[in-house]
Amino acid sequence: MQIEEQTWDCVIIGGGIAGLTASIYLAQAGKSVLVLEKSKTLGGRGRTTNKMDSYLNLGPHALYTNGKSIEILNELGIEIDGGIVPTKGKILHNDKIYDLPATAISLLTSPLLSWKAKKELFSFFIKYKTIDTNRIKNIPLHQWLQHKMKNEVARQLILMLSRLATYSNEPERISAGAALKQLQLGNAIYLHYGWQSMINALEKRATEAGVHFQTSKQVKKVNGSFPQFTVHTNDEMITAHHVLSTSTPHEIAKMFSEHERAPEIKECHPVYVSCIDLVLSRLPNPNIDFALSLEDPFYFSNHSRIAKLSERDYHVVHVMKYTIATEDTERELEDFIEKVQPGWKEYVVYKRYLPRMIVSNGLVLAQSKRPSPKVDQIPGFYIAGDWVGDGMLVDASFQSARKAAQLILENTR
């Protein structure tokens, strides 16, 4: 077994978005940083694959105009290029297709809604951006909506939008404050050439700052605490003053002996979805680029409508059910596509089914505190990811990575 002679200021476990982000902050502050990635390539779930000269994310991916991801990318001097998704589309309800009521006029004239539903929704959309989400963070979304809205269709529509914003379908468990905060983040942004363009920019900036990378490195065990850690990989031991792990809660727990594990790491509730990623030569119904089911957790979006995702002018389409797959899920997804794009199978250039796609390692629960980047039980050990600290999804990854880097820098002053 080779023993690395250099002692790094920080070893980062995981070369996804959180790992790359933290590495840049640390290296730009003059710290020696080594990133260990278990896969052959960097990027984690932010990787994009090229199929038939088209760019497919692992399921539908989006940033938000008012999200922390954009703020932190700008702070790092990284410009992203993409298209802002307009607030329009279709709703499926009882096998009928309606316009998504995205404006005051469309809301008031929608045949989908009764006058009671319109009144409650109109009141909600006027006020929701000013709601103090911190005051309702410990209340489940379902409970909050039951109290605020009496009309069932109005509640269903807000739950539908919540699924869209949070990538989850657990209103009885998710924090109402967290869900509404996601709705306040503005329009979605689809990146040109997929999220790989963002990953490449982060890797480039990290390399310029002096970050070192090792891929195909599986971390088996971590010993020690500040100022001396030993990181055991599949083929060597590496020493460091600090360790930042962006692994899953389960993987982190396995790195330490039982008495060293942080209790909150074990309490995270992962979120899974089922997806079909498509490359189509054409859309049978070009009038529908985006559709959601009102009562069922289904999503359809032609991301090529907004972003440059194909060299051949193909359509890159993502279809999703906000739940882990069962035996019938693939057929259900295909049936949903058929409802909005009849005859779509004739135009399939490429199809990929992802029955168990993890979108977050930790749902923001109503009555459970998320772990912070600093693990008090192990001085010098930090965590970051979409299940850590403030925010949700990729915003949480960016925020926790920045916070972890700041804490490490404070510890070295």
* Spatial separation of the C-alpha atoms in residues 370 and 257, rounded to whole Å: 22
* Spatial separation of the C-alpha atoms in residues 281 and 269, rounded to whole Å: 38
> 248 with 298, same domain?
no
Q: Is residue 90 part of a domain?
A: no
> 327 with 282, same domain?
yes
> 15 with 151, same domain?
no
> 253 with 331, same domain?
no
> 122 with 252, same domain?
no
* Spatial separation of the C-alpha atoms in residues 378 and 260, rounded to whole Å: 7
Question: DSSP class of residue 289?
Answer: S
Do 246 and 396 touch, CB atoms closer than 8 A? no
Taking only the tens place, the pLDDT of each residue in 43-72 is: 999 999 999 999 999 999 999 999 999 999
Q: How much of the chain exceeds pLDDT 90, in percent?
A: 88
Q: Which pLDDT score, from 0 to 100, does residue 262 have? A: 55
CATH number where 166 lies: 1.10.405
Written as six digits, the tokens of 314 are: 């193909």
Per-residue DSSP letters for 57-77? ESS---EETTSHHHHHHHHTT
Taking only the tens place, the pLDDT of each residue in 84-142 is: 998 889 999 999 999 999 888 899 999 999 999 999 999 999 999 999 999 999 999 99
> 205 with 339, same domain?
no
Taking only the tens place, the pLDDT of each residue in 224-272 is: 999 999 999 998 999 999 999 999 998 998 888 655 555 467 678 999 9
> 339 with 301, same domain?
yes
Q: Is 47 left (phi over 0), alpha (psi -120 to 50) or beta?
A: beta
Angle at the Cα of 128 from the Cα atoms of 124 and 129, rounded to 5 degrees: 150
> 110 with 180, same domain?
yes
Q: Is residue 234 part of a domain?
A: yes
> 179 with 226, same domain?
no
Domain that holds residue 401: 2-45+196-268+364-411
Q: Which pLDDT score, from 0 to 100, does residue 258 have? A: 57
* Spatial separation of the C-alpha atoms in residues 77 and 381, rounded to whole Å: 27
> 386 with 252, same domain?
yes
Number of structural domains in the chain: 3
CATH number where 404 lies: 3.50.50.60
- What's the mean pLDDT when you consider all of the chain? 94
Q: Is residue 79 part of a domain?
A: no
> 177 with 228, same domain?
no
Taking only the tens place, the pLDDT of each residue in 338-387 is: 999 999 999 999 999 999 999 999 999 998 889 999 998 899 999 999 99
> 284 with 216, same domain?
no
Which residue bears the tokens 């089911």? 293
Q: How far is CA 29 from CA 18, 130, 211, 359, 406, in A?
A: 17, 37, 11, 31, 10
Higher-pLDDT residue of 305, 255: 305
Burial of residue 285, with CB atoms counted within 10 A of its CB: 0-12 exposed, 13-18 middle, 19 or more buried: middle
* Spatial separation of the C-alpha atoms in residues 27 and 143, rounded to whole Å: 45
Q: Is residue 395 part of a domain?
A: yes
